[in-house]
């Protein structure tokens, strides 16, 4: 495919993914798990972007807990571009740092910001959408956000309200909204001009840098100093000292929402309606449904290879390795076992798994988190 | 306590106890498990009879799969009196063999027949009841059966219908009944003269031997030949050749039911109403209820020592070792884990666990049974 020599994928991989406990742990977060196929989520993220950018152009922002495993899982990437934040400061400083780093390196840089733990069913369609987005973002002070066409009244995501059509199939963004309640989510679904905020953005490094200088005037200079130290012996110390002073805020709150408040004509934020089988796999239940759908399409097996016996048991998600599993008279359960833990919950309640991790944190049961 | 020098406990320990899979296995049947306290069911059975008979007077009828573990668990018993049947032939031949063996040894012998896997809450009361039963049994051609006063309309047990009162608080037995349906079980409970058949019997060896000669005329001579070879070099071979030729039948069908058909005045079968906290722990659910009741009485802890977190989760039976268990939004489950298997069922359906074992047998998954 035609590639853009100024395109740099920046993968945000600092998340803890507690909703996949007990499989996910502090040092083995969701993005490092092979939840869907042989390769881990972050390996799949890199693999589907690989046709668009050479390995040396990838940047990963993560933390010290996860960096060693990421280095192991992605040996072709440039280790110095796998950056461990000294403290979590949400997405705005992470993305901003990437922008300032790239700006010193390539003034024409276009950043693609990607979560590290999502599933994309149709990578070719995904890359075609991205190519279009890169074109729009390259053209000037545009911010491109990939909006997922909603298929259900989901209350777990933020939504993008789109306005007028613009060039190349994109839509002007009118507004970013918080997670809606079910009634509002239904209205959004019916309205037809609302999209799920995928967390995938494209913009030029200089556009992003300027946005940060405007919206985070205290944080932007800190990030510039850190970027200036990159590649020198002072980098680690500078990073450790200054980064924790950055504002702890998401890019949505810091930049996108205030920017969109300028009105759809002024904000220069574009939504690219996307339809490439996106799934954020936000819980065991989402993973189960993904596997069921895939199996229905003939795209893979539902169950791992260990033996199983079921009687009056339907629609259970079972992640148990090397063990015979017998299910009698139980349905809609989530059953996940590791060497040191066993989780049993329901498909309805699996989003509460983070509460187990909170409990373990509080009880200082460090080995289990 | 006053003991009878002719009393011999005969413990039937050949059962497989598949309803406690995956904990119970072919070589680790229910009676070899510590389901209720530190000691195994068979160790508890022997311990509560120990004040009534010296270790050398115990006999155990089991099979080759279980004998090695029984020898390890009960090192004080006489190894030659732990007898492994070459083939399972139900209770009549097992009990009959014990009678013929004891008869050669002590013509005055009184056998106490005991299942090896039941719980008795009040051992002192139990021994007092047995002492009374031994007295009745010693007196002549009497058969004494311990009848449990029913506390619920249980459909899983056989019942004893009692008739006239007799000496020492015992009742004449009118009839043995099959497992009733719920309506009939309710009638039995209301009637007041029905008792659960505990499977515990007392009778003189010569009474039993004569009963077998009368009711199992083909089997009795085989058992006499086996008993005659006991202690000689020919025993193993004789046992292996003749025992499989014995009729495969329970003592209830073979002797008690036809005998009781003679009428309560003639049959000389006596029911000793018993109230010593008997529980046959017939399923994971029964075990769970037993533990809950015990915990309510302050008699012990419900949960094992490994960590646990629950949220909207009630009344679950969890047998998981060395693992943190998190339960969210699940209730009335039975969860049992071993190194190679995981069972999840409901309190309502745990009696079907035997079907898992049947499946494993059919699939020749020998390691799991």
Residue A305: the pLDDT is: 52
pLDDT exceeds 80 at position A306: no
- Whole-model pTM? 0.89
**C-beta of residue A223 within 8 angstroms of C-beta of residue A241:** no
The H-or-E segment that residue B61 falls in is: strand B59-63
Q: How far is Cα B74 from Cα B76, in angstroms, rounded to an integer?
A: 6
Bond prior to A22 in cis (omega within 30° of 0): yes
Out of A311, A324, A368, name the one closest to residue B368 (CB).
A324
**C-beta of residue B334 within 8 angstroms of C-beta of residue B284:** yes
B349 contacts A324? CB cut-off 8 A? no
Averaged pLDDT for residues B261-269:
88
Nearest partner of A83 among A250, A238, A251, judged by Cα: A238
Burial class (CB in 10 A: 0-12, 13-18, 19+), B54: exposed
Out of B22, B312, B345, name the one closest to residue A329 (CB).
B345
**C-beta of residue A58 within 8 angstroms of C-beta of residue A42:** no
B342 contacts A333? CB cut-off 8 A? no
Q: How far is A330 from chain B (nearest CA, A)?
A: 6
Q: What are residue B200's DSSP bridge partners?
A: none
Q: What are residue A146's DSSP bridge partners?
A: A272
pLDDT exceeds 90 at position B306: no
Dihedrals φ, ψ of A95, to 5°? -65, -40
Structure tokens at A197: 């905020």
Residue of B nearest to A346 (CA): B329
Least reliable range by pLDDT among B52-66, B101-115, B254-268? B254-268
B340 contacts A330? CB cut-off 8 A? no
Nearest partner of B352 among B279, B281, B283, B280, judged by Cα: B283
A365 contacts B326? CB cut-off 8 A? no
Out of B307, B350, B359, name the one closest to residue A309 (CB).
B359
**C-beta of residue A42 within 8 angstroms of C-beta of residue A50:** no
Structure tokens at B191: 């009637």
The H-or-E segment that residue B83 falls in is: strand B82-85
Cβ-Cβ contacts under 8 Å, B329 against chain A: 345-346, 348-349, 352
Bond prior to B22 in cis (omega within 30° of 0): yes
Residue B322: the pLDDT is: 87
- Give residue for tokens 């009963």: B211
Taking only the tens place, the pLDDT of each residue in B277-301 is: 999 999 999 999 999 988 888 765 5
Q: How far is Cα A365 from Cα A278, in angstroms, rounded to an integer?
A: 35
Nearest partner of A4 among A159, A136, A181, judged by Cα: A136
Say what the alpha-carbon torsion angle A121, A123, A127, A133 is, to the nearest 10 degrees: 10
Q: Check residues A302 and A87 and name the one with the higher pLDDT.
A: A87
- Give residue for tokens 């031994």: B134
**Strand A324-328 relative to strand B59-63, pairing:** unpaired
Q: How far is Cα A248 from Cα A269, in angstroms, rounded to an integer?
A: 23
Q: How far is B363 from chain A (nearest CA, A)?
A: 11
Residue of B nearest to A325 (CA): B342
| CA B218 and chain centroid, separation | 26
Cβ-Cβ contacts under 8 Å, B20 against chain A: none
Share of chain A above pLDDT 70, in %: 98
Q: How confident is the model at residue B142 (pLDDT cuts 50, 70, 90)?
A: very high
Q: How far is Cα A280 from Cα A118, in angstroms, rounded to an integer?
A: 4
Residue B305: the pLDDT is: 52
Residue A124: the pLDDT is: 97
Q: How far is B58 from chain A (nearest CA, A)?
A: 38
The Cβ of residue A256 has, within 10 Å, a number of other Cβ atoms equal to: 25
- Residue B63: which residues within 8 A CB-CB, separation 6 or more? B14, B84, B85, B88
Out of A312, A335, A339, name the one closest to residue B344 (CB).
A335
**C-beta of residue A60 within 8 angstroms of C-beta of residue A210:** no
Cβ-Cβ contacts under 8 Å, A333 against chain B: 330, 344
Residue A16: the pLDDT is: 84
B348 contacts A326? CB cut-off 8 A? no
The H-or-E segment that residue A308 falls in is: strand A308-311
Out of B21, B344, B365, name the one closest to residue A327 (CB).
B344
Q: How confident is the model at residue B321 (pLDDT cuts 50, 70, 90)?
A: confident
pLDDT exceeds 90 at position A64: yes
Strand order in the sheet with B308-311: A317-319, A333-337, A341-346, B324-328, B308-311
Q: What are residue A112's DSSP bridge partners?
A: A9, A202
Out of A325, A329, A337, name the one closest to residue B346 (CB).
A329
Q: How far is B19 from chain A (nearest CA, A)?
A: 13
Taking only the tens place, the pLDDT of each residue in A275-302 is: 999 999 999 999 999 999 888 887 655 5
Q: What is the ipTM of this complex?
A: 0.89
Question: Using the 8-state DSSP alphabet, how is residue A21 labeled?
Answer: T
Nearest partner of B246 among B273, B219, B280, B216, judged by Cα: B219
Q: What is the residue-averaged pLDDT of chain A?
A: 94
Residue B265: the pLDDT is: 84
Structure tokens at B178: 């099959």
Burial class (CB in 10 A: 0-12, 13-18, 19+), A309: buried
A345 contacts B328? CB cut-off 8 A? yes
**C-beta of residue B40 within 8 angstroms of C-beta of residue B28:** no
What is the number of residues in chain A?
369
pLDDT exceeds 80 at position B241: yes
> How many CA within 13 A on the CB side of residue B107?
0
pLDDT exceeds 60 at position B367: yes
B328 contacts A346? CB cut-off 8 A? yes
Q: How far is Cα B312 from Cα B306, in angstroms, rounded to an integer?
A: 20
Q: How confident is the model at residue A56 (pLDDT cuts 50, 70, 90)?
A: very high
- Residue A91: which residues within 8 A CB-CB, separation 6 or more? A12, A250, A251, A252
DSSP, residue by residue, B307-355: -EEEES--S-EEE--SSEEEEES--SEEEEE-SSEEEEEETTTGGGHHH
Out of A342, A360, A363, name the one closest to residue B325 (CB).
A342
A342 contacts B328? CB cut-off 8 A? no
Q: How far is Cα A294 from Cα A300, in angstroms, rounded to an integer?
A: 6
Structure tokens at A123: 């990578």
Residue of B nearest to A324 (CA): B341
B335 contacts A360? CB cut-off 8 A? no
Share of chain B above pLDDT 90, in %: 86
B337 contacts A325? CB cut-off 8 A? no
Taking only the tens place, the pLDDT of each residue in B153-176 is: 999 899 999 998 987 789 999 999
Taking only the tens place, the pLDDT of each residue in A315-362 is: 999 999 889 999 999 999 999 999 999 999 999 999 899 999 999 999
Which of B25, B329, B332 to mutate against chain A (most A CBs within 10 Å)? Answer: B329
Residues of A at the B interface, defined by Cβ within 8 angstroms: 21-22, 307, 309, 311-312, 320, 322-330, 333, 335, 337, 339-346, 348-350, 352-353, 355-356, 359-360, 363, 365, 368
Residue B220: the pLDDT is: 98
Residue A293: the pLDDT is: 87
Burial class (CB in 10 A: 0-12, 13-18, 19+), B213: middle
Averaged pLDDT for residues B203-222:
97
Cβ-Cβ contacts under 8 Å, B328 against chain A: 343-346, 349-350, 352-353, 355-356
Residue A301: the pLDDT is: 54
- Give residue for tokens 């200079």: A221
Out of A312, A323, A333, name the one closest to residue B330 (CB).
A333
Residue of A nearest to B344 (CA): A327
Residue A270: the pLDDT is: 95
Residue B300: the pLDDT is: 56
Sign of the Cα torsion A224, A225, A229, A235 reads negative
Angle between helices A91-105 and A219-229 (to 10 degrees): 50
C-alpha distances out from residue A3 to A8, A135, A141, Å? 11, 10, 20
E-strand spans in B132-182?
A: 143-148, 159-165, 171-177
pLDDT exceeds 60 at position A92: yes
**C-beta of residue A65 within 8 angstroms of C-beta of residue A73:** no
Averaged pLDDT for residues A89-108:
96
**C-beta of residue B171 within 8 angstroms of C-beta of residue B164:** yes
C-alpha distances out from residue A339 to A229, B226, B306, B320, B325, Å? 43, 51, 13, 12, 11
Nearest partner of B251 among B127, B115, B150, judged by Cα: B115
Residue of B nearest to A351 (CA): B328
**Strand B333-337 relative to strand B341-346, pairing:** antiparallel
**Strand A317-319 relative to strand A333-337, pairing:** parallel
Taking only the tens place, the pLDDT of each residue in A11-36 is: 999 988 899 999 999 999 999 999 99
Q: Check residues A59 and A156 and name the one with the higher pLDDT.
A: A59
């Amino acid at each position: 495919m035609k590639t853009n020599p100024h395109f740099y994928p920046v993968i945000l991989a600092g998340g803890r993914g507690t909703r996949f406990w007990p499989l996910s742990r502090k040092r083995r977060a969701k993005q490092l798990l092979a939840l869907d196929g042989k390769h881990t989520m972050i390996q799949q993220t890199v693999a589907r972007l690989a046709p668009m950018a050479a390995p040396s152009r990838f940047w990963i922002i993560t933390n010290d807990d996860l960096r060693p495993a990421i280095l192991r899982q992605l040996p072709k990437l440039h280790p110095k571009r796998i950056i461990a934040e000294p403290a979590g400061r949400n997405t705005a400083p992470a993305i901003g740092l990437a922008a300032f780093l790239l700006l010193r390196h390539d003034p024409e840089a276009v950043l693609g910001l990607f979560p590290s733990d999502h599933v994309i069913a149709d990578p070719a369609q995904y890359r075609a959408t991205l190519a279009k987005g890169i074109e729009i973002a390259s053209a000037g002070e545009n911010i491109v956000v990939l909006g997922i066409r909603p298929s259900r009244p989901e209350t777990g995501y933020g939504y993008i309200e789109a306005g007028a059509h613009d060039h190349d199939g994109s839509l002007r963004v009118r507004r970013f909204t918080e997670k809606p309640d079910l009634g509002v989510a239904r209205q959004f679904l019916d309205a037809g001009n609302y999209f799920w905020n995928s967390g995938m953005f494209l913009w030029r490094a200089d556009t992003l840098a300027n946005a940060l200088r405007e919206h985070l005037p205290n944080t932007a200079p800190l990030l510039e100093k850190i970027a200036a130290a990159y590649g020198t012996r002072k980098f680690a110390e500078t990073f450790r000292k200054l980064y924790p002073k950055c504002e702890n805020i998401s890019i949505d709150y810091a930049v996108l929402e205030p920017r969109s408040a300028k009105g759809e004509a002024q904000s220069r934020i574009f939504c690219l309606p996307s339809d490439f089988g996106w799934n954020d796999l936000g819980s065991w239940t989402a993973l189960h449904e993904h596997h069921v759908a895939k199996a229905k399409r003939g795209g893979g097996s539902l169950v791992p290879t260990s033996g199983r016996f079921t009687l009056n048991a339907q629609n259970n998600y079972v992640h148990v390795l090397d063990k015979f599993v017998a299910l009698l008279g139980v349905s809609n359960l989530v059953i996940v076992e590791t060497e040191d833990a066993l989780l049993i919950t329901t498909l309805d309640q699996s989003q509460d798994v983070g509460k187990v991790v909170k409990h373990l944190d509080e009880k200082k049961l460090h080995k289990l988190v």
